[in-house]
C-alpha cells in the first residue's frame, strides 16, 4: 500500500542554500555568498531521499542497491524509481497544527490594498503584433508584491480573481518567516596559525522564525518506509529534523472559471507553485507547444526572471560532481489563458516528467476577469487608459 504523505523539515539552527554559482570573489579579500530561500525542490528531494535510505539502513557512503533504487530511483534523475514529490511549501505552526503558506503570484500588485494584473488591450511591441500586456485594473502603476506569502485562504481569493478582498489575515511578510544571518569564516594555516590568503568567506545563512518549517508532499511512498530523524540539508552541513505527516494539504483551486467575452471560452490563470522549465513557446502569446495543450491559448503572462538550477550527483564513480545549470521559471509565474468550455489541464505539471518527479512544474488554476475581449483595432489610445 502506498500513500500520499507530507515531509516536514525543521532546521536545527540555520540553513544555507547556494544558487549554483561560485562564491563571489568580487573583493580580493572576502568571498561572498548569499543563500536563496526557499530552496529548489531538487535540494529537498535529495535530502529526503537520503533520509529515507538512511532509515532503511543505508550506511551513508556506498552505492544504493536495487531494494533502494526501485523506490527512490537511481541518481539525480530518480531513474527507475516509483517515488514522486510535489511542490514544496512553507508551514507555520498555528493552533497546535501546521498552516500551509504559498508564494504570492507574480500578477499580484499593491502594498496595503491588493489587486491582480490582467491582460490589457492589444498593442504592437517587440513580442509581436497585437500583444496583450498585463495592466493594472485600476489604471495605477503599482509594483508587483515582493517578499509576500499567502495563506491557503488568501491564495484561494487570488485564484478566484478577488484579490481586492485580501487583508492582513491572508498575507505574511517573508521577514516574519525568516531572516538573513551573515557569518564570517576563514581557513587557518596549520603551521603558521595565520589566515590562509583568499580563504576568508562570508556566507549569509537563513534562520527560520520559531514555528516555521519547510515541507514537501510525496506520493507512492510504500508503507513502513520511515526517514532518519536528522538529515543534512543544503550547504555548510546544516541539518534539519525530518517528520513524516499524514495527508498533505491540497493547494486551493478557483471555484469557477469566468467566461471570456462571448461565453464559448473561459478565462484561466495558471500559477506556478514550484519552478518550471518550459519551452520557448510558453514565453510568447499563442498556442503552447506542449502536447495536449493545443486547445489553450496564451493571452498574456507575468513571468519572473529565470533561475539557474543545477544540482550535485553524489553517486560514487565517474558521474560524481556538479550538474549543469539549467534555467527555470520561478514559482509564482502566472499565465493568462483562454480555454474551451469544460477544459482541464492534460497533465498536473509543466515541463518534462523527470523534473516533475522532483516536484518542479506544479501549478494551481485560477480565473481572471477579461474585459477587453472585443478586439477592435485601437487607434493609438493609451492602453492604460479608461477601464
Partner 1 sequence: MKAALLGLLAESHVHPGVGQSNETVDLPVARERTTGYPFVPGSSCKGALREVVEQRLPAEAERWFGRQDNAGQVMVSDARLLLLPVRSLTGAYRWLTCPHIVERLVRDRRRAGLAVPETPFDFSALDGKGESRVLSGGTDRLFLEERSFAPAGPLPAGLVTLLGGLIGDGRARARLAGQLAVVSDEEFGWFARYALAVQARNCLNEQKTSTNLWYEETLPPDTVLYVLLNDRHTAEGGGAGGSAAVADLLCQHPYLQLGGNETVGQGWFLVRPRVAGEAEG
232 binds partner 1 (CB under 8 A): yes
22 binds partner 1 (CB under 8 A): no
Of the pair 211, 369, the CB lying nearest partner 1 is at: 211
- Candidates 9-17, 100-108, 268-276, 331-339: pick the segment binding partner 1 (CB under 8 A): 9-17
Q: Which secondary structure element, helix H or strand E, spans residue 239, and what is its range?
A: strand 239-245
Residues 102/152, Cβ–Cβ less than 8 Å: yes
- Candidates 135-143, 185-193, 256-264, 339-347: pick the segment binding partner 1 (CB under 8 A): 185-193
Among 21, 94, 197, 207, binds partner 1 (CB under 8 A): 207
DSSP letter for each residue of 330-366: PTT-EEEEEEETT---SSSBSS-HHHHHTTTTBEEEE
Q: Is the alpha carbon torsion for 385, 147, 326, 72 positive or negative?
A: negative
13 binds partner 1 (CB under 8 A): yes
230 binds partner 1 (CB under 8 A): yes
Q: How far is the CB of 103 from partner 1 (least distance, A)?
A: 21
Closest to 323 measured CA to CA, from 310, 333, 332, 334: 310
Say whether 141 sits in a helix, a strand or coil. Answer: coil
Of the pair 83, 212, the CB lying nearest partner 1 is at: 212
Closest to 366 measured CA to CA, from 333, 325, 329, 328: 333
Of the pair 314, 354, the CB lying nearest partner 1 is at: 314
Q: Is the alpha carbon torsion for 88, 93, 99, 101 positive or negative?
A: negative
Q: How far is the CB of 356 from partner 1 (least distance, A)?
A: 29
Site for partner 1 in 39-68 (CB under 8 A): 54, 58-61
346: left (phi over 0), alpha (psi -120 to 50) or beta: alpha
Among 21, 94, 183, 284, binds partner 1 (CB under 8 A): 183
Among 241, 245, 303, 325, binds partner 1 (CB under 8 A): 241
Q: How far is the CB of 67 from partner 1 (least distance, A)?
A: 17
Of the pair 2, 239, the CB lying nearest partner 1 is at: 239
* Size of interface with partner 1, in residues (CB under 8 A): 32
243 binds partner 1 (CB under 8 A): no
294 binds partner 1 (CB under 8 A): no
Report residue 46: phi and psi, to 5°. -60, -45
Of the pair 165, 175, the CB lying nearest partner 1 is at: 175
Count of CA atoms in the C-beta half-sphere (13 A) of 387: 12
253 binds partner 1 (CB under 8 A): no
Among 95, 190, 192, 379, binds partner 1 (CB under 8 A): 190
End-to-end CA distance of the chain: 55
169 binds partner 1 (CB under 8 A): no
Counting beta carbons within 10 angstroms of the beta carbon of residue 11, is it exposed (0 to 12), middle (13 to 18) or buried (19 or more)? Answer: buried
Kind of pairing between the strands at 326-328 and 265-272: unpaired
Judged by the rule CB under 8 A, the positions of this chain that interact with partner 1 are 12-14, 54, 58-61, 179-185, 187-188, 190, 193, 202, 207, 209-210, 229-230, 232, 236-239, 241, 320
Amino acid at each position: 500500500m502506498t500513500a500520499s504523505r507530507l515531509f516536514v523539515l525543521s532546521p536545527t539552527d540555520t540553513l544555507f542554500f547556494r544558487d549554483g554559482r561560485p562564491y563571489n570573489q568580487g573583493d580580493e579579500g572576502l568571498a561572498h555568498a548569499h543563500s536563496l530561500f526557499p530552496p529548489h525542490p531538487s535540494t529537498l528531494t535529495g535530502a529526503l531521499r537520503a533520509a529515507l535510505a538512511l532509515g532503511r539502513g543505508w550506511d551513508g557512503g556506498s552505492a544504493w542497491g536495487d531494494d533502494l533504487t526501485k523506490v527512490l530511483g537511481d541518481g539525480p534523475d530518480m531513474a527507475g524509481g516509483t517515488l514522486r514529490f510535489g511542490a514544496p511549501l512553507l508551514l507555520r505552526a498555528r493552533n497546535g497544527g501546521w498552516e500551509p503558506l504559498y508564494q504570492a503570484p507574480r500578477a499580484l500588485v499593491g502594498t496595503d490594498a491588493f489587486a491582480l494584473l490582467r491582460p490589457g488591450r492589444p498593442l504592437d511591441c517587440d513580442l509581436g503584433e497585437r500583444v496583450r500586456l498585463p495592466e493594472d485594473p485600476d489604471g495605477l502603476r503599482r509594483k508587483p508584491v515582493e517578499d509576500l506569502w499567502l495563506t491557503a485562504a488568501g491564495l484561494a481569493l487570488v485564484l478566484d480573481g478577488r484579490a481586492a478582498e485580501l487583508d492582513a489575515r491572508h498575507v505574511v511578510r517573508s521577514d516574519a518567516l525568516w531572516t538573513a544571518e551573515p557569518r564570517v569564516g576563514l581557513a587557518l594555516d596549520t603551521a603558521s596559525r595565520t589566515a590562509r590568503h583568499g580563504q576568508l568567506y562570508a556566507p549569509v545563512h537563513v534562520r527560520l522564525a520559531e514555528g516555521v518549517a519547510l515541507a514537501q508532499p510525496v506520493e507512492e511512498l510504500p508503507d513502513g518506509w520511515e526517514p532518519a530523524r536528522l538529515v543534512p540539508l543544503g550547504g555548510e552541513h546544516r541539518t534539519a529534523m525530518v517528520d513524516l505527516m499524514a495527508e498533505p494539504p491540497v493547494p486551493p483551486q478557483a471555484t469557477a472559471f469566468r467566461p471570456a467575452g462571448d461565453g464559448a471560452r473561459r478565462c484561466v490563470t495558471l500559477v506556478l507553485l514550484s519552478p518550471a522549465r518550459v519551452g520557448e513557446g510558453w514565453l510568447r502569446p499563442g498556442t503552447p507547444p506542449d502536447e495536449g495543450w493545443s486547445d489553450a491559448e496564451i493571452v498574456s503572462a507575468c513571468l519572473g526572471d529565470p533561475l539557474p538550477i543545477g544540482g550535485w550527483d553524489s553517486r560514487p564513480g565517474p558521474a560524481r560532481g556538479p550538474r549543469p545549470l539549467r534555467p527555470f521559471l520561478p514559482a509564482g509565474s502566472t499565465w493568462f489563458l483562454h480555454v474551451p468550455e469544460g477544459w482541464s489541464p492534460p497533465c498536473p505539471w509543466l515541463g518534462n516528467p523527470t523534473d516533475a518527479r522532483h516536484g518542479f512544474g506544479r501549478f494551481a488554476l485560477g480565473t481572471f476577469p477579461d474585459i477587453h475581449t472585443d478586439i477592435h483595432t485601437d487607434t493609438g489610445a493609451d492602453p492604460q487608459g479608461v477601464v
